Structures are given as structure tokens and as C-alpha cells.
A and B are shown apart, each in its own frame.
Chain A
Amino acid sequence: MALRDIKPTRSELISIKRKIKLSERGYNILKMKRDGLILEFFKVLEQAKDSRGEMLNKYQKAAEMIALANTVEGKIGVKAAAFSVKETPEIELRNKNIMGVVVPEIKSSQVKKSLVNRGYGLLGTSSVIDEAAESFEDLVDTIIEAAEIETALKRLLDEIESTKRRVNALEFKVIPELTEAGAFIKMRLDEMEREELFRLKKIKARTSAKARTST
């Protein structure tokens, strides 16, 4: 808002004062929201670090197990077992609310299966495949957990960024501009008042001079 666009009127001054008050209130609330979000973010961050480390460990273990299964059973054997697995882990997405940020809550069903439910025959395969399957089921469980936490983290980060931008815009752009406009109007109003006073005095002097000459 450029200064020349402002009409120096009393009603404008009142409305600007009102706007400043509103902006300051919004600024305070947003600042609190930002701080709250960062606190929440710290909590999730710790979890995310843990889950990522755990996931990497489990992945390494699972990779080892599958390599072992490949060596013992042969690639075809492992593939045959893999393609006969029937049960699919289903995940369910639900929403959770953290300070106005909607984060998913992921529930999974039956990732872990018992030996009999896996679908491939018990007799045709060796225990190595069972162990590989088990370690991968474990890994999938961890992945689901990590996915939930990482999505929450991403959403929180987005929200923190936009809140921070809003707080900064209010603090460094909106409020200073409004205060400047308010000061400008006040100055102009004072100036106009002085002009008016001066004009009145001038008129009074002139009329009194006229009255003196006529008498």
C-alpha cells in the first residue's frame, strides 16, 4: 500500500487502527501456533530417526536372508514360493489431528502370518524361505510404521514453513506498513488542523481590520 493511495481522513485512521489491532492479534496467535508446531515436530523427529534406523537394520537383515534363501533354494525356488503367497497385507488410513495439521494414522492388518497361512507348501520348501519371509514381514511392519511417522513429519514441516512465512509477513510487512500509514494520516490530519486554525486567524484578523477601518 503506497502512502499516496491513502486518504487522510479520520474514518480511514480509525479503520487502520482497527486493522493494526487485528494484525497484531493474528500475529501473536500465529507465533504461538508456530512454536507449538515446532514442539510437536521435535517429538515426531525423534521417532522418525529411530524408525529409520530400525528400518535400515531390518532391511539389511532381510536382504541377507533372501540372499541366503537364493543360495539354498535357487532363484526359481524362491520365486515360486514368493508367487504362491496369497495373503496380502492391507493397510488402513485414518486421520489424526496435530494442532490443526491432519496426519495419517496407518493401521495394518496381518502382515505377520503363521507358517501355514503363507500359501506355499510346507514340505516343498526349506526353513530358509520361512525365515526370509518372516524377516521381510518384519520389515514391512517397520516400513508401515515409518511411513506414518514420515508423512506426519512432512506435513508438520509444510505447516511450519507456511506458518513461519505468515508470521514473518505480518511482522515485517503488514504491521509496519499499517503503522506507517497510520502515522501518515495522523500527520496529515494535524497539518490540516493547523492550516485551518491559521486560516481562521487570518480571516479573523482581516475582518477585525475591516471593522476598524469602517469605524
Chain B
Amino acid sequence: MEIAVIGNSEFIVGFRLAGIRKTYAADDDRKLVEQITNVLEDEGIGILVMNGSDMARIPQRLRITLENSIKPTVIAIGGEEGGLSIRERIKRSVGVDLWK
């Protein structure tokens, strides 16, 4: 299993430095969606790391797929998006907003 990173070229270079090979550059929206679909089809990827601002840019349907996806697990960093989606789910499942 490997880790994949999708983002603009500045975002991915650091992860490249940490030794992650599956880094995919996506500078515009179309490319972003294309790369995400590719990663979702790749069986060897266990974790997908994305930038929070990129997460906000992709179409809603794909975003929901990513948020609910368990393999690969999608982690959005830099930005509140990742936390917000979990917050919504907690509200729906437990009925109380526990994420504070």
C-alpha cells in the first residue's frame, strides 16, 4: 500500500521530498478531477492526501465520494474542509455536534 498526494506543484514537492512517489500534479480543475479518478481506480493506494482548498474546488458529487471513501482514506490538510465534513456526519449520526 502506498500514499498518494494530489495538489499543485508546490504542494506536492514537499511530499516528494519525504519519499512519496505517487504525487500527481494538478494545476487546473479538469486535471484535478482526472487525477482523483485515476487514484480512486488505483488499487495500491491506501491514503490520499489533498489540499483543503483543492477539496473545496472539486464537484460536489466527487467530494462526497471522497469523504465517504475508506479505501483510499482521503485526508485534506491545510483548511477546515476535512474537519467540517466529519462534523456534519457526526451531527447526522449522533444528533449532537460533538466536534468542538
A residues engaging B (CB < 8 A)? 38, 41-42, 45, 48-49, 52, 55-56, 59-60, 62-63, 65-66, 70, 78-79, 81-83, 85-93, 104, 106, 111, 113, 118, 129, 132-133, 136-137, 139-140, 143-144, 146-147, 150-151, 153-155, 157-158, 160-161, 164
Do most interface residues of chain B lie in helix, strand or loop, or is the interface mixed? mixed
Interface pair A153/B86, CB less than 8 Å apart: yes
Interface pair A38/B19, CB less than 8 Å apart: no
Interface pair A132/B14, CB less than 8 Å apart: yes
Of residues 49 through 66 on chain B, the ones whose CB sits less than 8 Å from some CB of chain A are 49
Interface pair B86/A143, CB less than 8 Å apart: no
**Given that A55-B77, A157-B93, A161-B92 are contacting pairs, would A136 and B46 also be in contact in the complex, using a CB cutoff of 8 Å?**
no
Interface pair A92/B1, CB less than 8 Å apart: yes
In the assembled complex, 26 residue pairs joining A and B whose CB atoms fall closer than 8 Å, in A order, are: A55-B77, A62-B14, A66-B13, A78-B17, A79-B13, A79-B16, A86-B19, A88-B2, A89-B18, A89-B20, A91-B46, A91-B47, A104-B70, A129-B17, A132-B14, A140-B20, A143-B75, A144-B47, A147-B47, A147-B75, A150-B73, A153-B86, A154-B70, A154-B89, A157-B94, A164-B93
Interface pair B18/A133, CB less than 8 Å apart: yes
